[in-house]
Chains A and B, each alone.
Chain A
Amino acid sequence: MQQPDRIAHPWGERTPYGRDGRWPARVDQHLADGVAPEDVQRWAKSASLLHSNGDAMDIAVVDGRIVGVRGRADDRVNGGRLGPKDLFGWQANASPDRLTRPLVRMGGRLVETDWDTAMGRVVAESKRLLERRGPSAIGFYTTGQLFLEEYYTLAAIARGAIGTNHLDGNTRLCTATAAAALKETFACDGQPGSFTDVDHADVIALFGHNAAETQPVLWMRILDRLAGPNPPALVCVDPRDTPVADAARESGGVHLAPLPGTNVALMNGLLHEIVENGWVDREYVEAHTVGFAELEKRVQEYPPDRVAEICRIEPEQIRSAARVLGRAERLLSTVLQGFYQSHQATAAAVQVNNLNLIRGMLGRPGCGILQMNGQPTAQNTRECGADGDLTGFRNWENDAHVAELARHWNVEPTRIPHMAPPTHAMQMFRYAEQGSIRMLWVSGTNPAVSLPELVRIRRILSQRRLFLVVQDIFLSETAQLADVVLPAATWGEKTGTFTNADRTVHFSEKAVDPPGHGRPDLDIFLDYARRMDFRDKDGRPFPQWHDGESAFDAWAACSAGRPCDYSGLSHAKLREAPSGIQWPCTAENPDGTERLYTDGRFWSAPDHCESYGRDLVTGAPLEETEYRALNPDAKAILKAAEYLPPHERPSDEYPFVLITGRTIHHFHTRTKTGRVPELQAAAPDVWVECSKDDARRLGLADGDAAEVATPRGTITARVRIGDIRGGVLFVPFHYGYWDTTGSGPGGGRGRAANELTVTDWDPASKQPLFKTAAARLGGAS
């Protein structure tokens, strides 16, 4: 059963269904050439690790090799479907250039060694720094691709054993604003909605969320609704004319293409219309929220004419989009990087929450909010506290929460740093630049390509005074700069669990052995802990767990009573379950929970909440007393925000706004997908997308080599003329140097989008902004 060409037709055949109907199953499968389904000796249970959708699949094994994948028909997330990255991506596991042995730097070169030598160096350096400079000299920068058990263990080691405040994930780049927006509105993280809301909605609004490319299987679900009876109307906000924008127009909805950096003005304009036209659910607002008066006052300043001028769109477009949103009976809103990586990220994402709240559209089938994630296991970094949160959605400002966590870990509460919010990634790199962080342990990510302003990042990572440990499966651009490289095992080579953007927890089973001496990240972290001889209060080795299953059980206990409650889950239960299970899942609620906040009650009581919130402009955390005065009754918080102009605006010299983003064929910095023949052939090199008019004016034709420059750097890229709004450029961020010049551009021209991006982040979520940089475009000389 081979599939039709899923590179040319990424979303496959339609299986239409109507409102409130059940999404029909469709099983997608891809096996290596010459392998028939009956040849497969074993199917190992897993889910996708190349985007945040969490599509359930089984891994086909023949003679100890992975030979393909098959979607799982009975899973709630995908009903058997797989996107192109899932169908082909597994081949990367068997790439000939996988790291198979640890490497250490000797005389300026990385040379192969054994685990004892490599770990010996890491341990010696850790001990030296702890003795001479204390825990604040050590930082950990992790990923959105490890498993839950690994993040939980890393968080315990960093915060509970070493006692450093410096632990964050590259999920800072993709999901920090989702978490921040939920914390601002609901005072606690936790995805309110469910993917099944697609089945029931009559309006689906996608804010800066190109689902067609970022979450192709969720997009299939929407396409199937659009092809069935009673289809929903779509509202799409995106400066590019994406497949989502097309579908929005065809569905009788609206596509809005605001100038990048103006999302808050746009959202305030939409809310203005909702309020003005009486589309507010006053009863819901009264019963379940605080802050409406201030919101109402704020949005009064944003009538459509003013907003149209700021966003450079027609006022009538704002009115018609507001009409669709205002008259919706069941409104599902989704948000992604178009908001999260743009100017005033949290403020804009929070206004989407406000939209659903003032319309009373939450907690019922079809009425939901999905603040999406970018990376596959981003959800777990947030829950486990490996991304600048305290483990289990706990509040670093609440001493009782810190004490509770300390009890679970059996360490003194003073061991867990909580004098200030956990350090975010960009600040960690700043501390390394200043020389106060002297050891950085990077696991499963590639900052030398993924962070903004790469000239600066490479300079920081290359410092001699910085001891750089990189744990990865390939010799990435970052690994090439390391002092020690640790070869890891990946998806299909280790057992554990992970959670998708709608709280669905999946079990991922080991299918094959990792190549060479590669080891699961969990084993590496635990090995480090034992070699460091970390102990708990009673002198027992800390962490007290020793493998994936015991790590999961420790986490489940630690999460009990918190919103992300896993206490009803275990490896055994997830292994047997036909489908993934949504948290919270407890003994009383063993099948999990489809939607949060169904009763309009929130996790916002001052003693329970994860956060007291922040000032959306300055990022300053609110004090506990301020929060208690604002929200004594545990309601949702309607937080108003003023629009501020972006920090870097187009000028005569740099007349364009540059935005970066992803393509359906690649993941992150292509370390896996660039090694997969079908995906690499589909999108082999970087391009720059511009509008027809801009190309004509500059004398550029499709396929020409062009130069894109900002005050920070220059790249060359092929011109792709597309339906993007005039004055805006799009460059995909996947392309780096591992398959060209090494760790950086060498003497030549760059090709990584982040040579160009500005160092600026949202003050509330600390998410770097990849969608506001002034740029210049011209023919390449």
Chain B
Amino acid sequence: MSKLRLVLRELHRGEAGLARDLLAVADRHRADHEIFHVARDVAGWSQEHVRRIAEVGADFGVRLNPEPRWTLPGVGVLGRRAGAALARRPASGLLLLADLRHVHRKAAGVSLDWELLAQAAQAMKKQSLMQLAADCHPQTLRQMRWANAQLKVTSPQVIAS
């Protein structure tokens, strides 16, 4: 049971971190409007996952915050300023590639943790955890594919121009 708690804790940490990173990426790339809007939309998925992990966690004796702080004080403002300063310069493209690469790797980590949870839930026949993974994991994969697709679309112009 304690190992399961560890997995839930790690997932909670990962999803909360992913949500924060997505919101920070949105803030840094307000002038890349699709990045801005979609990053916030899919950050909402991670925020919802955090709530649900916390809810289920309680049944397994692990206390997790359903509403952690999503932005660190000052960071959003700084990101926005940095983004605005670079918005009309080609360098903002490189920053975007770095951010997307980070999001992809982070989401990949979370995806692996969902895999672990799903496997454990099956082995331990925990229906509520299986359902949780079945609902959430596909959205994590969509977040990964989004970051990957944006990298693919944006990189030729950023790197070749």
Contact = CB atoms under 8 A, between A and B. Distances in A.
B27 to A, nearest CB: 14
A702 to B, nearest CB: 36
Nearest to A615: B142
B1 interface: no
Given A134-B160, A619-B38, A621-B149, A426 B92 contact: no
Nearest to A459: B88
Nearest to B88: A433
A436 B161 contact: yes
Contact of B92 (A133, A434, A763): A434
B88 A434 contact: yes
B12 to A, nearest CB: 23
Contacts of A436: 90, 93, 157-158, 161
A430 B32 contact: yes
Contacts, number: 82
A420 interface: yes
Interface string A208-251: 00000000000000000000000000000000000000000000
A740 B156 CA distance: 42
A380 to B, nearest CB: 25
Interface string B15-47: 000000000000000011110011011101000
Given A133-B161, A134-B161, A436-B161, A618 B89 contact: no
Contacts of B160: 134, 136
Contact of B41 (A136, A421, A431, A644): A644
A647 interface: yes
A165 interface: yes
Contacts of B42: 617-618
B89 A419 contact: no
Contact of B31 (A421, A430, A435): A430
B105 interface: no
Interface string A639-680: 000001001000000000000000000000000000000000
B145 interface: yes
B65 interface: no
A624 to B, nearest CB: 13
Interface string A667-706: 0000000000000000000000000000000000000000
B152 interface: yes
Interface string B118-161: 00000000000000000000000011011011101100111011
Contact of B145 (A420, A618, A647): A618
B157 A617 contact: no
Interface in B32-81: 32-34, 37-38, 40-42, 44
B143 to A, nearest CB: 8
Contacts of B90: 434-436
A577 interface: no
A702 B55 CA distance: 54
B37 A620 contact: no
A433 B87 contact: yes
A619 B92 contact: no
Contacts of A619: 34, 38, 146, 149
B34 A136 contact: no
B31 A617 contact: no
A679 to B, nearest CB: 34
Interface in A420-460: 420-421, 423, 426-427, 430-431, 433-436
A766 B149 CA distance: 14
A149 to B, nearest CB: 30
Given A136-B161, A435-B89, A617-B42, 13 more contacts: A134-B161, A136-B156, A419-B156, A433-B31, A436-B93, A436-B157, A618-B145, A618-B146, A619-B34, A620-B150, A644-B41, A760-B37, A761-B34
Interface of B: 31-34, 37-38, 40-42, 44, 87-90, 92-93, 142-143, 145-146, 148-150, 152-153, 156-158, 160-161
Interface of A: 133-134, 136-137, 165, 417, 419-421, 423, 426-427, 430-431, 433-436, 615, 617-621, 644, 647, 759-761, 763, 766
11 contacts: A136-B157, A420-B153, A420-B156, A423-B157, A427-B34, A436-B90, A436-B161, A618-B41, A620-B148, A621-B149, A759-B33
